[in-house]
């Protein structure tokens, strides 16, 4: 039916014998895992401690930047740590414990110089919900600090295991819009929960759903207490200082660094002023029951009072089992997202697995200090980066600041108004809300992902933070599965492009574009379909078990619609026709004769990086259905098959080698095994040799071709004449078979 494969092979024979790519053997799948095991183990162990890659080159210039950044972050982390501990319904000293351990331990394992580890708002509100849930189920059994410390130990151990097993790639399954939606919803939820404390409003639970907290806060506005006199001015002052410093920076750019540090100190400055004001007002106004007119922090124990082996209660561990997934996901998501962002911003690459190890060790060791779960903080990391930090050692300076605060400033902490801490929290988490420009970019890039973002925000507000994060993750995974299971493919034709105005090229060339005008930017481009009897199809996804049946249906349906049927079914009695394809009524005009006779199908595999057994079986089924429709064998050509493993899989299915389909395997993935005389074993002798087909005589022809052209050999193996380097060559070879075709009986 077609030209001799050896003659076609001559058109693609280039290169030298040593450049021929052999079919890979099964043993080659294992070899990469066995190469240099000692070196791999050594690299793995050294990779656990990135500290040794830069500490030997430490210098005075780096020290200056690290000291400035460390002091700057330390001044911010002390009030924030106590504020977040209050948000987590824990005594304020636990926020300082988490702050100290986070910044100190992280510098040993870090691959990011900018990230600052410690208590964060989202994790704190999650800890608050977990503590409330456990205490509601088992009141007076465990106190809040024990629950939080146990949670830190368990989450740290899980994250450490994920990092050691190099499973950090799992985080990549959660896209940026899902993370942004969760963070935005959480920020709104945290802000709503802190407004009552800012205004001194009480009488309802701030752990309820966000919309309920907002409604109850509005109802309680007439009950605003004196705390608002400290909370509202503090919040206004925080925003005013930042706004003034930003405008002065634009007006006096030469003094931008001074204004930057003035803005940085706003948290400490506002807390200091509010503390002095609270002390002046309430020190002589203590009631008989020991209460003050406003809520203040009161006693903060000095030093590390809870250091020691963590107390892990088995009953508590079982109670926390259902709460661990959401807490672990928050640790992973927030930290990896922040570290990657600053890595891209400052031109270095982070190792996600090593970052997970750092987070795991930080929380596991932190449980020995009484710390609660800590992860990367966006606001403090941005501050650290802008302060000019040079290495992760800046965290050591920050830890010194926290220790000084723990041992020397706890008496002053007594008078800090809690409304002021609520102002600090609201001011910090407001930056986590996605800007309108960012949300609009989600809509422009992918409207579906915009709805995922919106769903995460709404579920967080009207349900809970836990449900919000589960919603965003599940919706993202569902979208991924839908995209994989419903791949896009295109039937291609040729178009001649004359020149390229972007590079000043005037030469014309041929390109392959979709035949559907709707998929083109310029609908006026003239696309020439392939020669009659040839179909060119491009896969736009990997060819795997979730999507292979869709591609199969697209090819078969196109063939039945566009190509002539081999059997004139109009002349077949109705009683002999298949029930599911009766065809036209006998005697009617048959339009099938106007359609071309299918001779070859060219499949563009340039976008296919993986293939599996189910997909190969689907391709075999496609060949069987197509040849049943045409009534004769059809050539299958494959262009741009880059992976040797894909070539191996296709050869196992009888493709690429040019043997008659009657000799090719009919079933490579039988669900119910059966024997019909045609099996894969009859076709392939082993992984590296193609069985010689004496009936087709192709091995002999290829040999003759090599003998006739001694100076050239194929880039691809001669045993696979239907694999082609590019789509242009594949189409040319397929169309060449339409010239003086051989009778079907000789194929």
Is residue 715 pLDDT above 80, yes or no? no
Choice among 28-32, 129-133, 265-269, 512-516 with the minimum mean pLDDT: 28-32
Is residue 633 pLDDT above 70, yes or no? yes
Distance CA 680, CA 663 (A): 10
Is residue 172 pLDDT above 50, yes or no? yes
Name the band, by pLDDT with cuts 50, 70 and 90, for residue 43. Answer: confident
| pLDDT per residue as tens digits for the range 50-66 | 988 899 999 998 999 99
| pLDDT per residue as tens digits for the range 455-466 | 999 999 998 888
Distance CA 558, CA 351 (A): 47
Q: What is the pLDDT of residue 287?
A: 72
Calculate the average pLDDT of the chain.
Answer: 83
Distance CA 676, CA 683 (A): 13
Q: For residues 126 and 330, is the Cβ–Cβ distance under 8 A? A: yes
Is residue 602 pLDDT above 90, yes or no? yes
Q: What is the pLDDT of residue 66?
A: 93
Which region, left, alpha or beta, applies to residue 685 given φ > 0 means left and ψ of -120 to 50 means alpha? alpha
Distance CA 225, CA 418 (A): 13
The model's pTM: 0.78
The β-bridge partners of 720 are none
Closest by CA to 487, choosing from 557, 555, 536, 548, is 548
Q: What is the pLDDT of residue 746?
A: 35
Give the CA distances from residue 443 to residues 179, 433, 437, 448, 449, in Å, rounded to whole numbers and listed in that order.
15, 16, 10, 8, 7
Q: What sign does the dihedral 339-345-351-354 (CA atoms) show? A: negative
Name the band, by pLDDT with cuts 50, 70 and 90, for residue 369. Answer: very high
| pLDDT per residue as tens digits for the range 394-428 | 999 999 999 999 999 999 999 999 999 999 999 99
Q: Please, what is the Cα angle at 324 between 322 and 327, to 5 degrees?
A: 130
Name the band, by pLDDT with cuts 50, 70 and 90, for residue 33. Answer: low
CB atoms closer than 10 angstroms to residue 445: 12
> What is the per-residue burial (b if ≥16 Cβ within 10 Å, else e) of 227-261?
bbbbbebbbebbeebeeebeebbeeeeeeeeebbe
Q: Where are the domains of the chain?
A: 50-482, 490-570+594-666+716-739
How many CA atoms, within 13 angstroms, populate the side-chain half-sphere of residue 337? 20
DSSP string, 406-461: HHHSHHHHTT-BHHHHHHHHHHHHGGGSPPHHHHHHHHHH-HHHHHHHHHHHHHHH
> What is the per-residue burial (b if ≥16 Cβ within 10 Å, else e) of 515-553?
beeeeeeeeeeebeebbebbbbbbbebbbbbbbbebbbe
Is residue 6 pLDDT above 60, yes or no? no
Q: Which helix (H) or strand (E) holds 27?
A: helix 27-34
How much is the CA Rg of the chain, to the nearest whole Å?
Answer: 35
| pLDDT per residue as tens digits for the range 66-125 | 999 999 999 999 999 999 999 999 999 999 999 999 999 999 998 999 999 999 999 999
CB atoms closer than 10 angstroms to residue 325: 15
What superfamily in CATH does domain 490-570+594-666+716-739 come from? STAS domain (3.30.750.24)
| pLDDT per residue as tens digits for the range 325-350 | 999 999 988 899 899 888 888 888 89
Strand ranges (E), 605-687: 635-639
Higher pLDDT, 11 or 722: 722
| pLDDT per residue as tens digits for the range 124-137 | 999 999 999 999 88
Distance CA 667, CA 616 (A): 9
Distance CA 529, CA 551 (A): 20
| pLDDT per residue as tens digits for the range 504-523 | 556 777 888 888 866 666 76
Is residue 714 pLDDT above 70, yes or no? no
Surface-to-core class of residue 695, CB atoms within 10 Å of its CB (0-12 exposed, 13-18 middle, 19+ buried): exposed
Name the band, by pLDDT with cuts 50, 70 and 90, for residue 156. Answer: very high
Averaged pLDDT, 618-642: 90
Q: What is the pLDDT of residue 16?
A: 36
Q: What is the pLDDT of residue 648?
A: 87
Token digits for 677?
A: 């005389």
pLDDT over 90 percentage in the chain = 46
Name the band, by pLDDT with cuts 50, 70 and 90, for residue 584. Answer: low
């Amino acid at each position: 039916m077609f030209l001799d494969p050896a003659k076609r092979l001559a058109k693609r024979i280039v290169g030298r014998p040593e450049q021929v790519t052999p079919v890979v053997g099964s043993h080659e799948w294992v070899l990469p895992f066995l190469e240099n095991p000692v070196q791999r183990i050594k690299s793995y162990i050294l990779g656990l401690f990135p500290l040794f890659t830069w500490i030997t080159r430490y210098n005075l210039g780096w020290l200056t930047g690290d000291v400035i950044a460390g002091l700057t972050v330390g001044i911010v982390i002390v009030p924030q740590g106590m504020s977040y501990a209050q948000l987590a319904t824990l005594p304020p000293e636990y926020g300082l414990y988490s702050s100290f351990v986070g910044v100190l331990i992280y510098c040993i394992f870090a691959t990011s110089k900018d990230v600052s580890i410690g208590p964060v708002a989202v994790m704190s509100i999650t800890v608050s919900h977990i503590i409330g849930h456990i205490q509601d189920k088992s009141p007076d059994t465990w106190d809040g600090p024990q629950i939080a410390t146990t949670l830190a130990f368990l989450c740290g151990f899980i994250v450490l295991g994920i990092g050691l097993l190099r499973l950090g790639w799992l985080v990549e399954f959660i896209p940026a819009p899902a993370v942004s939606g969760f963070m935005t919803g959480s920020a709104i939820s945290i802000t709503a929960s802190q407004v009552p404390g800012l205004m001194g409003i009480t009488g309802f639970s701030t752990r309820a759903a966000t919309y309920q907290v907002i409604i109850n806060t509005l109802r309680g506005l007439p009950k605003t207490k004196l705390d608002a006199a400290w909370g509202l001015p503090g919040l206004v002052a925080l925003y005013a200082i930042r706004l003034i410093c930003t405008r002065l920076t634009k007006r006096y750019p030469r003094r931008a660094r001074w204004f930057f540090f003035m803005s940085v100190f706003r948290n400490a400055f506002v807390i200091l002023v509010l503390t002095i004001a609270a002390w002046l007002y309430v020190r002589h106004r203590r009631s008989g029951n020991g209460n003050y007119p406003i809520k203040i922090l009161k006693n903060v124990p000095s030093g590390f009072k809870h250091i020691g082996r963590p107390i892990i209660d088995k009953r508590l561990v079982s109670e926390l089992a259902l709460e661990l997934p959401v807490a672990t996901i928050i640790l992973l998501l927030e930290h990896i997202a922040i570290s990657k962002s600053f890595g891209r911003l400052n031109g270095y690459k982070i190792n996600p697995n090593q970052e997970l190890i750092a987070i795991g060790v930080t929380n596991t060791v932190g449980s020995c200090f009484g710390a609660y779960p800590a992860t990367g903080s966006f606001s403090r990391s941005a501050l650290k980066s802008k302060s000019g930090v040079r290495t992760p050692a800046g965290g050591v300076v920050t830890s010194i600041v926290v220790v000084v605060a723990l041992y020397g400033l706890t008496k002053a902490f007594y008078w800090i108004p809690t409304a002021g801490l609520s102002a600090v929290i609201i001011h910090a988490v407001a930056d986590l809300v996605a800007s309108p420009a960012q949300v609009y970019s989600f809509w422009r890039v992918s409207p579906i992902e915009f709805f995922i973002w919106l769903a995460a925000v709404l579920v967080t507000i009207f349900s809970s933070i836990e449900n919000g994060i589960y919603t965003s993750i599940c919706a993202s995974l569902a979208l991924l599965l839908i995209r994989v299971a419903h791949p896009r493919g295109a039937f291609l034709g040729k178009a001649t492009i004359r020149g390229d105005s972007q590079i000043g090229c005037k030469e014309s060339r041929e390109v392959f574009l979709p035949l559907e005008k709707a998929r083109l930017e310029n609908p006026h481009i003239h696309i020439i379909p392939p020669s009659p009897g040839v179909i060119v199809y491009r896969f736009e996804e990997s060819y795997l078990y979730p999507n292979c049946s869709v591609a199969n249906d697209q090819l078969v349906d196109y063939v039945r619609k566009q190509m002539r049927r081999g059997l004139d079914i109009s002349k077949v009695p109705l009683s002999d026709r298949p029930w599911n394809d009766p065809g036209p009524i006998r005697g009617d005009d048959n339009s099938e004769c106007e359609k071309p006779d299918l001779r070859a199908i060219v499949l563009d595999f340039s976008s296919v990086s993986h293939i599996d057994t189910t997909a190969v079986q689907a391709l075999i089924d496609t060949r069987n259905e197509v040849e049943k429709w045409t009534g004769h064998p059809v050539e299958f050509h494959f262009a741009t098959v880059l992976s040797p493993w894909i070539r191996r899989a296709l050869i196992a299915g009888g493709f690429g080698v040019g043997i008659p389909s009657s000799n090719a395997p009919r079933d490579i993935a039988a669900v119910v095994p059966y024997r019909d005389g045609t099996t894969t074993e009859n076709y392939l002798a082993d992984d590296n040799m193609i069985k010689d087909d004496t009936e087709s005589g192709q091995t002999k022809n290829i040999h003759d071709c090599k003998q006739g052209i001694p100076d050239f050999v194929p880039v691809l193996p001669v045993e696979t004449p239907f694999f082609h380097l590019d789509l242009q060559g594949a189409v040319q070879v397929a169309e060449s078979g339409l010239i003086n075709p051989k009778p079907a009986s000789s194929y």
